[in-house]
Structure 1
Amino acid sequence: MATENTPKAVMYWFPGSVWASVPRLVAVEKGLTDNELERRIVDLGKGENFSPAYLRLNPAGTVPCLVVPYEHTLDDGVKTKFKALCNTKDVVQFLDTSTNSSSFAAPSLSPATIEGSSTSKELIEHIHQDSIDPNTLLLVWRNEDERKAKAGGLPGGFLRGRQDALERYAKEAGDSDPKLKAFYDKKIQENGGLLALLEGKGDSSDIQAKAKALWANVGKTVELLESKLQPGAVYLLGDQISLADLHCGAWLARVLACAGATSITDTEAALKQLEANLDVKVGPKFAAWAQSLFERDSFKEVYGEDGLH
């Protein structure tokens, strides 16, 4: 990480992003300040992630994205070169491993044992599966009542903001860059198609089936995490918070928001709202784990003021 004489890492993020919340949690757990990590907001609701400038940084147009200097270019008299890490797992791994030194009071968030590393990797890979994607969960609906509520709420506003930005950027870019044009054309079609269905223009039976499948898989994941938690253990890998907890905790926060919960202050009430959307019950170990997470300063900072997202 940066010192007084070296460039800072820069993290591009958005307050409402589920996966940008993971490095935010890591930053609090590791005690990173603005002196070590500069933060710049990319407004997803306004489609700023689709601007040509941001796409040059991250061609996928996603957040988080961490721009860090190459270590071998930090010598005096050498022009500093940078690389961009644009996968949540890569970003948080870098933030954790680059701060495992005496200058940071917080311990490593990565497991020290082979068994722990294997379990951590398994859980992190699982929670990032498309079959339980929390971003998709936010934008799809199971019935007409949900469709109408989402069309008039945050999902509808989000998709409209993206569509306006995509069409504006596409018009400005014209045909000057074939790859950029292809990117915009594809995104305009995908986003516009979903927006039209959300606004009641067309048959959304496939969307409803997808939403029901997502919620069914969320229930299976709740059961999986219950089975992975050892009796008496506070966190997924034991008594110490880990990267697996932060990935899974951010996922849970978004799922709770999709279930209608708004705050982490009453975990029991939030989990009851979650249960109302599932065909399974929340187990006691899962409930205790969620309570332990939401009592941490990192979760209070990320979700206390802005609410669940």
Structure 2
Amino acid sequence: MPAKLYSFSSSVWASVPRIALVEKQITDVEIVEVNLFNAENYSPAYLKINKNATVPSLIHHKNNHATIDDSTTIAEFLDSAYPEGPSLLPADEAAAAQVRELVAKSHSVDPNLVSLGAVNEQELAQKKPVVTAIMGGRVAALTRFTEEAPEHSVFYSEKVDAAKQLIGTYENPEHAGSLYSAINAEWAKIFAYFDEIELLLASHDGPYLIGKQYTLADVHFTCLIARLYVNRQDLLFENRPHLLKYWKTVQTRESFKVVYAELH
């Protein structure tokens, strides 16, 4: 059975193992696209692979064909399972710990939340057609899946309620105050984290997060910036010259060109 990576090209964290595949020069893993916009991740068939309905998921013979269902674990698995490729984790234990800490910090903010939400009424109006269409399609798909697999009805019902609530907020902006507060608070967390990274990059000669070696910390952080760049590219690098230089550097890597062809 060939190794399979279940992914979605527009998913922020599903891009992590895709970058790792290119960096490690791995060619024996088949990428299976799971279209989140069409709610394919909630299909009964995919729930057999990943009960959480998330991407990425990796099934690999070196892991006894058991599913690995989070980007952090998948990336580390690929790095160790293919030692012949360039290492993405430092051999030094202290440096490796720093890399893992940076990976965790990248996951401490929520790029999906700010992508689906809005900071004010103007952004709400701009995003309304896309967000309501995606959520409406999700509701329709979940309703169909409930009929096909009633054993998942409770799980599907929770997802339907969440989607309908978001649609309701977009259709009734007078009730969107709590959404604006949540999204502005999340952006504040993101910018505070980016300020930390700016100081980190300024503290050494670089060009990467922990210095000269490109690591898993860079893989995850690149995916985070790439997602946020689509939303607020005007503010990401404001008063952050080292971060801007870093962004330009990672864009030159072959892995970035392959995974983010539309941004290159």
Shared fold per TM-score greater than 0.5: yes
Q: Displacement, 1:66?
A: 0.3
Cα distance in 2 for partners of 1:122, 1:146 equals 33
Letter of the 2:252 partner, please give it. E
Cα distance in 1 for partners of 2:198, 2:23 equals 24
Aligned runs of 1:152-171 on 2, under 5 Å?
152-153=129-130, 155-171=131-147
Q: Displacement, 1:8?
A: 2.5
Cα contact 2:204–2:211 (8 A) shared by 1: no
Partner of 2:251: 294
Letter of the 1:238 partner, please give it. G
1:152 alignment partner, SS class = helix
Cα distance in 1 for partners of 2:148, 2:170 equals 27
1:150 matched to 2:127: yes
Q: Displacement, 1:201?
A: 6.5
Letter of the 1:125 partner, please give it. A
Q: Displacement, 1:110?
A: 0.7
Q: 2:74 aligns with which of 82, 86, 91?
A: 91
Partner of 2:218: 245
Cα contact 1:228–1:236 (8 A) shared by 2: yes
Superposition TM-score, scaled by structure 1 size? 0.81
Q: Which runs of 5+ in 1 are unaligned?
A: 1-6, 72-80, 260-269
Larger Rg: 1
Cα distance in 2 for partners of 1:32, 1:198 equals 43
1:100 matched to 2:83: yes
Q: Which runs of 5+ in 2 are unaligned?
A: none
Partner of 1:14: 8
Q: Displacement, 1:297?
A: 1.0
Partner of 1:49: 41
Superposition TM-score, scaled by structure 2 size? 0.94
Cα distance in 2 for partners of 1:82, 1:202 equals 50
Q: Identity of aligned pairs, percent?
A: 32
RMSD: 1.7
Cα distance in 2 for partners of 1:37, 1:70 equals 12
Q: Displacement, 1:292?
A: 0.7
Structure having the higher helix fraction is 2
Cα contact 1:14–1:44 (8 A) shared by 2: yes
Deviating beyond 3 angstroms after TM superposition, the runs of 4 or more aligned structure 1 residues are none
Where relative contact order (Cα < 8 A, 6+ residues apart) is larger, the structure is: 2
Cα distance in 1 for partners of 2:135, 2:12 equals 16
Q: Displacement, 1:257?
A: 0.8
Cα distance in 2 for partners of 1:68, 1:119 equals 27
